[in-house]
């Protein structure tokens, strides 16, 4: 079987297969066939320039395909987004006081959007803030949030 392929598969067969894979890639849009098509075209170009056996061509195609897939997964895939260990708050984050905050004491605030992964926090203030008042973040120091009334 390999002797039959070795005698009958020419350089332009690889180019046609590569172009067919690229067309299939355009139809599917998954970028999986892109590397396979480019690898086949490269093998066709190598077969045109030098006289290599079908086994070598097949081996080159496999190597080029693996390298193309490696490049794809290394550089072009979406990077995972994580906020682990990072502050994801903004100083203009608004909230509502659920437990009155006495000056330099703690009270409970529920923020409109989560702050550091939680919407409900104990907060301090420099002035008395009654329950139900709207507040915004002034500063975050570790696990302590300082707010002021707006």
- The per-residue pLDDT of the chain, averaged, comes to 87
Question: How many domains, in total, are found in the chain?
Answer: 2
Give the pLDDT confidence of 62-110 residue by residue, as tens digits: 999 999 989 888 887 666 655 444 445 567 789 999 999 999 899 999 9
User: Considering the domain boundaries, does residue 57 fall inside one?
Assistant: yes
State which residues form the domain around 105.
94-149
* Structure confidence at residue 5 (pLDDT): 75
Does 16 share its domain with 66? yes
* Structure confidence at residue 90 (pLDDT): 67
Query: Can you give the CATH number for the domain in which 108 is found?
Result: 2.40.50.140
Q: Does the structure show a pLDDT above 80 at 29?
A: yes
User: Considering the domain boundaries, does residue 107 fall inside one?
Assistant: yes
* Structure confidence at residue 86 (pLDDT): 45
**Range of 80-84, 137-141, 144-148 with top mean pLDDT:** 144-148
User: Considering the domain boundaries, does residue 41 fall inside one?
Assistant: yes
Residue 144: beta bridge partners?
141
Does 6 share its domain with 58? yes
Does 69 share its domain with 126? no
């Amino acid at each position: 079987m390999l002797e039959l392929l070795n005698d009958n598969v020419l350089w332009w067969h690889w180019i046609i297969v590569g172009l067919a894979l690229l067309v299939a890639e355009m139809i599917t849009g998954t970028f999986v066939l892109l590397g396979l098509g480019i690898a086949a075209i490269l093998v066709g170009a190598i077969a045109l320039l030098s006289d290599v056996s079908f086994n070598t061509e097949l081996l080159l195609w496999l190597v080029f395909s693996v390298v193309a897939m490696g490049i794809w997964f290394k550089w072009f895939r979406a990077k995972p987004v994580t906020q682990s260990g990072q502050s994801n708050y903004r100083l203009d984050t608004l909230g509502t006081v659920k437990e009155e905050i006495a000056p330099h004491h703690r009270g409970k605030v529920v923020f409109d959007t989560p702050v550091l992964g939680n919407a409900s926090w104990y907060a301090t203030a420099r002035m008395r803030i009654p329950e139900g008042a709207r507040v915004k973040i002034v500063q975050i120091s570790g696990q302590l949030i300082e707010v002021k009334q707006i």
